[in-house]
Structure 1
Amino acid sequence: MNRQLQGLTQMEVKRRIDAGKTNHFKAKTGSSNWEIFRRNVFNSFNMLNFAIFVALIAVQAWSNLFFFGIIVLNAFTGMMTELRARRMIDKLNLMNKDQIRVVRDGQVSAIDPQDIVLDDLMLLSAGEQVPSDAKVVDGMAELNEAMLTGESDLILKKDGKELLSGSYLVSGQVYARVIHVAEDNYANKLMLEAKTHKPIVSRILYNMDKIAKFTGKIVIPFGLALFFEAYMIKQLSLQESVVTSSTALLGMLPKGIALLTITSLLTAVIKLGMKHVLVQEMYSVETLARVDVLCLDKTGTITQGKMTVKGLELLSKRYTKEELEGLLAAYMQHSKDNNSTAQAIRNAYEGLENNYQVGDIIPFSSDRKWGAMVIEGVGTLFLGAPEMLLKENPQAVEQAQARGSRVLILALSQSGIDTETMSLPNDVEGLALLEIADPIREDAAETLEYLRSEDVTLKIISGDNPVTVSHIAHQAGFADYQSYIDCSKVSDEELEALAEDTAIFGRVSPHQKKLLIQTLNANGHTTAMTGDGVNDILALREADCSIVMAEGDPATRQIANLVLMDSEFKDIPEILFEGRRVVNNIAHIAPIFLIKTVYSFLLGLICIASIVFGKAEYLLVFPFIQVQMTLAGQFIEGLPPFILTFERNIRPVEKHFLRRSLQLSIPNALMLVISVLIFHLSQVYLGMSNTDMLTLSYYMMGSTGVLAVIRACIPLNKGRVALIIYSVFGFFISSYYLRDVIEISTLNSYTLPIYLVAMAICTPLFFWISYKQGAFQKA
């Protein structure tokens, strides 16, 4: 081995480790224990709850403190679920960890990136990411620095050129000496730089945050006004005033659904992890649910990615088949290309003897779609796509493509090559056709059909010839196999116009893949993309959700939202549907929680507005206390919604989550508000006692919530019937036996008929409205 390529000795490595010149860098890749604790404990919801808890203690309202036990339990559950999810991710990350090859004592070995030391000699090949700033010592490669600079142009790196950490090799192979480690590396972030991409935001939590911000703005003046009304005008005791006003404030916060959403997402992360799917972005699970366009890379998804050479067909009489096989053996012996196609050719011809000497080399790249090598005494050999090397495709090429084979042309030129401009000479002559097969996955047809039947639009994006891709798609049962274009022959503007209605895109460059995803996103679609090679990275980063195979290039795994550790295409539907399960079920049960938010706000407004009547008897004080809402919540907002979030629900996700949830919750809230007003007026004008009025209000509050639970359980099955029984009997039995604790009386001969009449009116009205709103769709 060249002395310059001997690398460090073990003694030199030890001296650098002792001096602290290692690549150890504590980059933030996940939440710490403290961050998980702080997120679940010291959030705005809990802070308000704690302030009210302290206020209730101050006025010795002991029976109204039970709600805080639920808050503590929820925080504990959230922490435990998040810690379990993190452990699952850490475990899968160990399986997903990529090692770097270094030369030490003249021997190549693989080590973790953090074990690199200053002046280490790294051996980097196409598909690998540069883990530490380095300078090229030997070899040549093309790098993409888009993750660092945003520019997608390939940059040629030769001897003496600097490689930046976070960039990745698209073609070629280099030996590079490390010049910076740890904090001294580019932008002080090594592998983390590859994960700089569009942040994923939870739409559900975003919508809940809208409500939280609104209530947050009004909570102090609202609370003070309610307290002033109760204490100063209605002249209730200090304890009663604090209890009633705090209950209204707590009721307005949609804290339950926010917690349930995060718990559901974390549970999905754990479930996917158990199926060997690494989720690197928790909220990508929610994004998955909204995916309506899935862009597939043919190789490694529809096909197995296990390529084999089927044959070599002569296109010229210049050389015999044996001579061409010898030239191929020489080409692959000296080429540093290591993609799946190159490996297949190398496996087929590497055993053949050859005595050729080589000169300049241009590595294969997915942008050019060809590579070249100067063979002394022969000329310049080219290996690449027929459309790029030949002016006209021979009939043999079209016949091979019609069989669904990948076709490469071995061509010859007597001109040299310019490794700077990498331009193609004019005298390129085709010598032979190389036919390469890539078997279709056995489950591809079933998976594609399943996705199509679930309203997911499928598009195949490939660097292969579109005819080849079309025939492979046909064999795999792809319905729109005849809808294809050759992207090497269209402009960016034409590609944007064709993006929506075309199913198969062949001869796509990395830039065009990115443009396709951008166009689909601009058209209002939610896109997911699968890929496995460095040519997919720009598009993967642009997609709303990126899914890669673990067998793919290391750089793609670093930037993906999800990594399929088993590299199984058949796992994709279940991944998409896990996202749908979470979002659909949260949307399904959200009205149960929002009912309380709406009626608490409306009743609070009415209470404040009633001040204008002046007389104390006309004033409406918030009719509920916290212990009542806590008890009723256990049978309405507790177990039933929690159980319902685990049900399978794979129908397409509805848009406008918040608007839809409010539409379904407002009728219940209005029924309760109107009922409370009627009961209050009955108290003023008909002499109904305050106890009877509060008792009727409480039972109507619980009953409207129970109706929402029943609606969420339709269509019925045994499990859902059990939830309804739990909700109905739990609410009424607990209300009867704990009536003294929640400060109500029983429904007596006077109040029971009123309650039954109210329910006789509200129940059919509720189900009729729900039917008109389309709330009884099959889940």
Structure 2
Amino acid sequence: MQSGTEETRDQSEARVSSALSGLPEAEAERRHLAGLGNVLPNGSSRSLWEILLANVFTLFNAIVFTGFGILLALGRWQDALFGLPALFNTIIGVVQEFGAKRTLDRLAVLNAPTARVMREGRVSEIALDRVVMGDLLVLRTGDQITADSRVVQTDEFGPGGLEVDESLLTGESVAVRKRVDAEVLSGSSVVAGSGLAEVIRVGADSYAAKLTSEARKFSLVRSELRSSIDRLLRWITWALGPMILIVVNGQMQAQGGWEVAIENGQWREAVVGAVAAVIAMVPLGLVLVTSIAFAVSGVALANRQVLIQELPAVEGLARVDVLCLDKTGTLTTGEMVFDRSHMLQEVPGWQRVLGYMGESPDANGTARCLAEPFGDEHSDFAPVGAVPFDSVRKWSALLAGDSGGTASGTWVLGAPDFVLRAESGTDSVDEPLAMAGELAEAGLRTLVLAHSAHRISLGSDDDPVLPEGLIPVAMLTFREQVRPDAAQTLSYFAEQGVEVRVISGDDPRTVSAVAREVGLDSSAGFDARRLPEDQGELADVLEREHVFGRVTPAQKLAMVHALQSRGHVVAMTGDGVNDALAIKKSDLGIAMDTAAQATKAVARIVLLDGRFDRMPGVVAEGRRVIANIERVSMLFLTKTTYAFAVAVVFGVLAWSFPFLPRQLSITDGLTIGVPAFFLALMPNATRYRSGFLKRSLAFSIPAGLIVTAGLIALKVLGDQIGPFSVEEMQSASTLTLAGIALWVLAVMARPVSPFRILIVLAMYAGLGLIWLIPLSQDFFQVTWLSDSLGVLVLGIVAVGVVLVEVLRAWHLRFTRK
């Protein structure tokens, strides 16, 4: 009964080959040409052309680049600098989405580079796409199954027949015995035995391909920042049409009317003014600064072994309020560890037997845990026969001789209810069975070591049969190795108000025990086989229960949808292919380093070193980004507000637009562009609260109207104390706008810190340098103001500063509600 040698495998394969010779090569080629080959579907739902259409050919870009082109055509390149941020925005959008497309297109559940098939009685290795319907796959231990197949013959001469690990597909961590006529699915792996399987589904029809195809469907991570900014851009874009008409008409009227402006060539100035007004309404840098903030965060997290596959995912964990965890690979390392032995009856040599079983080449994952505590005990023990573990019979056995101080006869290690059931009803067995039940309730995996003086025998179907008179010797308990960082990380999420759901394909009792070990309050896990199919009822269960076992891949996906239907922002972690669809459909998918390729591809975040304690750092990074972008957005939206308001007022009243485009570049750069870059990257631990857009607009609209009122006051009062030249009024308007907008910046930079003070002071200094340096004066066409106009500007700015402070005090109370 020696197990698993190469000689046994060769004999088995020869026996199988003589019965089934496989397809002729000519027939296999014919089927391949007929489209019956294992060609997997390729491509995501968006082509490169579609990506370009979505990011380049937009109404927003049409308006911006049209204005850019008009100014270049008029020879006013100095006023066309606004085109650069718009170009960068477009490039970033295309690059990000194309990168996501390439990741999805590379997605594949199957990692095996070749397949082993039987054709014309010969075994050969071929490319995956050359496998055809009806081919005979030759399966050996360690192989990944490349196409859905039906078992036609197994290695009946081997130790345990054909055993398949389907955990990547089903979440069930126990290997499954496959007999003749059983189906084996693509993406699963052979863990024991060998055999032949006839291919019954190929290509897009296979199970793995269907998972891959579903996972490949293009989608962007849900981002409140991005969706809010996109919504703003849509509002602004649609408002630009009528605004352009108002502005152009107003500027032409300001030049004496359409006919006069065209005749004397003043239409050029009118067009420049109109372009300046329209472009000022567009928050060009907001998207760029947001993208830069995400990119910098992505780099920072990458240095901590956290891969961000889509930049807005940095924001995701800051918004998540429910975190769904897969037990194996997330809370646990996926490995079993020995817990303890419970002595039942002393039989000589039991430690030697356990040591030998633990270090046997045929030992499964659980038995290998015995090597460390008992490995030194078996140096003088040599069994005369062995029956390796089998997932169907749930036990393994050794046949001991009369030497070495070990009791002769049969030693059996396996599941208590399988090993001892033949002896049940006796006092010596019922008590150990009761103990095993209690230990299982505690979530421990339990094995019993039993001994019989009789030898093991074979049944009518050549399967080994347990001997009579088995005496339980020791009860052995095992537990899954919990990640050392899991409890601390979950404690952090609890403090931050993030609820946790543990979801696993394993026994609910085992899952519950692991949950308790990491600090979750769970008396008993919920068996997912009792979950309702109705989404509303399922959501009720999920609100009440927190630990689930025996969960199928379809149920994981349904759970995500049910939680989302109740308004939750859901993060999903996992490592198996069975987790891929749930991870994709969640608001934020997180994969561990050991995850299947398909799961990593659809996840937004991958923990490259598998350390679960990286998660709080990702949360902190997300919060920093959200809080800082909210701060920066108020600067940009303040500008958009006053640009719209000024355009309407000056257009309707037929006043000349008070700035040149290049002069707006001064205020944009000093009050928004440069400081926004630094503010977006500074530390910020503010806790996330929904309503980003509402809070931003509540400050930005009043602040923009304060700036507008200052410019209107300057125009009205300046005409009364004037006259002043066009250049003087444009310079005064630039200083008025910069003075009030810089105080808006000072408000946004609070709470005060030395670096933030330095940023604000540097912007004031930059404004002064524009007027001090002759070259910059000439380029931006600004001039020193007369005393009366200078005093007027100072007075208006002072009133604006007071109003901004009043607005800040009100906004603080508003945001605390």
Q: Following the alignment from structure 1 to structure 2, what is the Cα–Cα distance between the partners of residues 543 and 124?
A: 37
Once the 2 structures are TM-superposed, how far is the Cα of residue 51 of structure 1 from its aligned partner?
A: 0.9
CA contact (8 A) 2:246 2:648 kept: no
CA contact (8 A) 2:177 2:392 kept: no
Once the 2 structures are TM-superposed, how far is the Cα of residue 230 of structure 1 from its aligned partner?
A: 1.6
Tell me the equivalent position of 1:276.
305
Which of residues 507, 531, 541 in structure 2 aligns to 1:492? 531
Tell me the equivalent position of 2:329.
300
TM-score (norm 2): 0.70
Q: Following the alignment from structure 2 to structure 1, what is the Cα–Cα distance between the partners of residues 611 and 658?
A: 57
CA contact (8 A) 1:444 1:569 kept: yes
Once the 2 structures are TM-superposed, how far is the Cα of residue 69 of structure 1 from its aligned partner?
A: 4.3
Tell me the equivalent position of 2:280.
251
One-letter code aligned to 2:78: S
CA contact (8 A) 1:293 1:525 kept: yes
Q: Following the alignment from structure 1 to structure 2, what is the Cα–Cα distance between the partners of residues 716 and 107?
A: 78
CA contact (8 A) 1:668 1:704 kept: no
Q: Following the alignment from structure 1 to structure 2, what is the Cα–Cα distance between the partners of residues 729 and 314?
A: 82
Which of residues 283, 287, 296 in structure 1 aligns to 2:316? 287
Q: For 1:7-39, what per-residue CA distance to the aligned partner results, in whole angstroms no more than 9, with x for missing partners?
A: 999x989x989x999978793479999888887
Q: CA RMSD in A?
A: 5.6
Pairing of 1:132-151 with structure 2 (within 5 A): 132=147, 136-138=151-153
Structure 2 residue 573 is the aligned partner of structure 1 residue 530: yes
Instruction: Say if 1:123 and 1:577 are closer, same or farther in 2 by CA, change over 3 A.
Output: farther
CA contact (8 A) 2:501 2:546 kept: yes
Which of residues 2, 16, 20 in structure 1 aligns to 2:13? 2
Which of residues 623, 626, 631 in structure 2 aligns to 1:580? 623
One-letter code aligned to 1:589: V
Q: Which stretch of the first structure deviates more once superposed, 712-721 or 731-740? A: 731-740
Tell me the equivalent position of 1:150.
none
Structure 2 residue 734 is the aligned partner of structure 1 residue 698: yes
Q: Following the alignment from structure 1 to structure 2, what is the Cα–Cα distance between the partners of residues 341 and 5?
A: 34
One-letter code aligned to 2:64: N
Tell me the equivalent position of 1:151.
none
Once the 2 structures are TM-superposed, how far is the Cα of residue 685 of structure 1 from its aligned partner?
A: 4.6
Q: Following the alignment from structure 1 to structure 2, what is the Cα–Cα distance between the partners of residues 112 and 700?
A: 72
Once the 2 structures are TM-superposed, how far is the Cα of residue 487 of structure 1 from its aligned partner?
A: 0.8
Q: For 1:249-280, what per-residue CA distance to the aligned partner results, in whole angstroms no more than 9, with x for missing partners?
A: 21222221122223333443444344333434
One-letter code aligned to 2:761: I
TM-score (norm 1): 0.74
Once the 2 structures are TM-superposed, how far is the Cα of residue 525 of structure 1 from its aligned partner?
A: 1.9
Structure 2 residue 803 is the aligned partner of structure 1 residue 765: yes
Pairing of 1:393-472 with structure 2 (within 5 A): 396-397=435-436, 400=439, 405-407=444-446, 434-462=476-504, 472=514
Which of residues 640, 646, 659 in structure 2 aligns to 1:603? 646
CA contact (8 A) 1:136 1:160 kept: yes
Q: Following the alignment from structure 2 to structure 1, what is the Cα–Cα distance between the partners of residues 724 and 386?
A: 108
Secondary structure of the residue aligned to 2:481 is coil
Once the 2 structures are TM-superposed, how far is the Cα of residue 510 of structure 1 from its aligned partner?
A: 5.6
Q: Following the alignment from structure 1 to structure 2, what is the Cα–Cα distance between the partners of residues 453 and 603?
A: 47
Structure 2 residue 780 is the aligned partner of structure 1 residue 742: yes
Q: Following the alignment from structure 1 to structure 2, what is the Cα–Cα distance between the partners of residues 710 and 41?
A: 35
Structure 2 residue 218 is the aligned partner of structure 1 residue 218: no
Once the 2 structures are TM-superposed, how far is the Cα of residue 750 of structure 1 from its aligned partner?
A: 0.8
Which of residues 758, 772, 787 in structure 2 aligns to 1:722? 758
Secondary structure of the residue aligned to 2:770 is helix
Q: Which stretch of the first structure deviates more once superposed, 482-491 or 100-109? A: 100-109
Structure 2 residue 227 is the aligned partner of structure 1 residue 227: no
Structure 2 residue 91 is the aligned partner of structure 1 residue 52: no
Percent of residue pairs identical = 27
Instruction: Say if 1:32 and 1:104 are closer, same or farther in 2 by CA, change over 3 A.
Output: same
Q: Following the alignment from structure 1 to structure 2, what is the Cα–Cα distance between the partners of residues 35 and 301?
A: 37
CA contact (8 A) 2:85 2:284 kept: no
Structure 2 residue 676 is the aligned partner of structure 1 residue 660: no
Instruction: Say if 1:653 and 1:489 are closer, same or farther in 2 by CA, change over 3 A.
Output: closer
CA contact (8 A) 2:638 2:703 kept: yes
Once the 2 structures are TM-superposed, how far is the Cα of residue 157 of structure 1 from its aligned partner?
A: 8.7
Tell me the equivalent position of 2:663.
628
Q: Following the alignment from structure 2 to structure 1, what is the Cα–Cα distance between the partners of residues 207 and 102?
A: 31
One-letter code aligned to 1:202: S
Secondary structure of the residue aligned to 1:438 is strand
CA contact (8 A) 1:499 1:516 kept: yes
One-letter code aligned to 1:247: A
One-letter code aligned to 1:764: V
CA contact (8 A) 1:99 1:112 kept: no
Tell me the equivalent position of 2:457.
none
Tell me the equivalent position of 1:678.
713
Tell me the equivalent position of 2:768.
732
Secondary structure of the residue aligned to 1:750 is helix
Instruction: Say if 1:396 and 1:26 are closer, same or farther in 2 by CA, change over 3 A.
Output: closer
Once the 2 structures are TM-superposed, how far is the Cα of residue 669 of structure 1 from its aligned partner?
A: 0.5
CA contact (8 A) 1:131 1:191 kept: no
Q: Which runs of 5+ in 1 are unaligned?
A: 148-154, 364-370, 412-429, 611-618
State how many pairs are aligned.
717
Once the 2 structures are TM-superposed, how far is the Cα of residue 558 of structure 1 from its aligned partner?
A: 4.9
Secondary structure of the residue aligned to 2:662 is helix
Structure 2 residue 591 is the aligned partner of structure 1 residue 548: yes
One-letter code aligned to 2:678: I
Tell me the equivalent position of 1:209.
230
Q: Following the alignment from structure 1 to structure 2, what is the Cα–Cα distance between the partners of residues 185 and 468?
A: 32
Which of residues 760, 770, 794 in structure 2 aligns to 1:756? 794
Which of residues 78, 96, 99 in structure 2 aligns to 1:63? 78
Q: Following the alignment from structure 2 to structure 1, what is the Cα–Cα distance between the partners of residues 771 and 648?
A: 27
One-letter code aligned to 1:567: G
CA contact (8 A) 2:529 2:550 kept: no
Q: Which has the larger radius of gyration?
A: 2
Once the 2 structures are TM-superposed, how far is the Cα of residue 541 of structure 1 from its aligned partner?
A: 4.5
Q: Following the alignment from structure 1 to structure 2, what is the Cα–Cα distance between the partners of residues 488 and 185?
A: 29
Tell me the equivalent position of 1:646.
681
Secondary structure of the residue aligned to 2:571 is strand
Which of residues 103, 111, 134 in structure 1 aligns to 2:116? 103
Tell me the equivalent position of 2:603.
560
Q: For 1:74-111, what per-residue CA distance to the aligned partner results, in whole angstroms no more than 9, with x for missing partners?
A: 6667788999x889989xx9999944674379999999
Q: Following the alignment from structure 1 to structure 2, what is the Cα–Cα distance between the partners of residues 175 and 708?
A: 74
CA contact (8 A) 1:286 1:582 kept: yes
Secondary structure of the residue aligned to 1:306 is strand
Instruction: Say if 1:385 and 1:693 are closer, same or farther in 2 by CA, change over 3 A.
Output: farther
Once the 2 structures are TM-superposed, how far is the Cα of residue 670 of structure 1 from its aligned partner?
A: 0.7
Q: Following the alignment from structure 1 to structure 2, what is the Cα–Cα distance between the partners of residues 392 and 71?
A: 77
Q: Which runs of 5+ in 2 are unaligned?
A: 1-11, 154-161, 171-175, 398-409, 425-429, 451-471
Q: Following the alignment from structure 2 to structure 1, what is the Cα–Cα distance between the partners of residues 124 and 81?
A: 61
Pairing of 1:97-136 with structure 2 (within 5 A): 98-99=111-112, 102-103=115-116, 119=135, 121=137, 123=139, 132=147, 136=151
Q: Following the alignment from structure 1 to structure 2, what is the Cα–Cα distance between the partners of residues 74 and 489?
A: 46
Secondary structure of the residue aligned to 1:304 is strand
One-letter code aligned to 2:568: H
Q: Following the alignment from structure 2 to structure 1, what is the Cα–Cα distance between the partners of residues 234 and 436?
A: 63
Instruction: Say if 1:594 and 1:111 are closer, same or farther in 2 by CA, change over 3 A.
Output: farther
Q: Following the alignment from structure 2 to structure 1, what is the Cα–Cα distance between the partners of residues 793 and 779?
A: 21
Q: Following the alignment from structure 1 to structure 2, what is the Cα–Cα distance between the partners of residues 190 and 511?
A: 11
Instruction: Say if 1:505 and 1:36 are closer, same or farther in 2 by CA, change over 3 A.
Output: closer
Tell me the equivalent position of 2:221.
200
Secondary structure of the residue aligned to 1:716 is coil
